[in-house]
Every structure is written in structure tokens, then in C-alpha cells.
Amino acid sequence: MERTIVSVHTADADERAQWCGALAERLGPDYDVRDGPAPDARYAVAFGAPEDFFSAQPKLEAVFSMAAGVDHLLRLETLPPTLPIYRLEDAGMGEQMVRYCRHEVEHRLLGHDRYGEQQRRAHWEEHPVQEPAQMPVG
């Protein structure tokens, strides 16, 4: 039986290697997971693909985005108009988004913008810290 080829592309070689290893382990022996574009690939997992990503892989049946969105794929001119694109549900980004949101909320609660502006003007004025209950987040 012929193995199904899956290509993996990210700009970072270490990240690519991690994805290749994890996919190969989970997909099993019926799949051949390759690092980078493969002419016979049926599926691709990608983030930050080069312009020729799709033309180099004409047999793709679907592509999976490992980013929070799919804009990085939609802007490629070689994207076949009928090729299905799937966004991976998490791909590790859930925790990243939590950290980013937590940082932004704390940044505003503690008045970092105000203190940063004061620092640029070489001025110091203490301001009361806003309590989390005073700042609803939606």
C-alpha cells in the first residue's frame, strides 16, 4: 500500500522538525511526513509558506494552517481556488493567546502606558492601581 505524503512547512527548522516528529508519531506508518514541500504530498501543514508552496505541491487535497488564522495562505497567488484550508483548532496557540491577553490586561491595570509616557518626559507621579473588578474584559 502506498503511504500518504504529508508536508510540513514553517520558517523555523527546529519547529518544523518538532511538527514532523509529532505528526509521524501520531499518524503512524501509513503516512510519510516530510520536512518542506513535496511534489507528491496529499496534505500540507504550514505557517509562513513561500510563494511557490502550492505550485511545488500540485497534488494537495487539503492544507492545514498551524497559525491562528489562514491569511498567510490566502495571500499566496498560487493557492488553488478550490483547495480546502483548515485551521488547526489549537496547535499550541491557546496558551499563547492566554499569556498575551493576560499581559495586555495587566499592562492596562497597572498603568504601564501612563508610566512609560512619564518616563519619557523624566517625570514621576504615582497613580492608584486599578483593581481588576473595575475593568471588565469581554
| Alpha carbon separation from 33 to 42, 44, 79, 126 (Å, rounded) | 11, 9, 21, 57
pLDDT tens profile 67-103: 878 888 998 888 999 999 998 876 566 777 788 888 8
Q: Shortest CA distance to 48 belongs to which of 75, 81, 83? A: 75
Taking the C-alpha atoms of residue 6 and residue 60, their distance in angstroms, rounded to an integer, is 9
Q: What integer pLDDT is reported at residue 90 of this predicted model?
A: 63
Residues in the chain predicted with pLDDT less than 50, given as ranges, are none
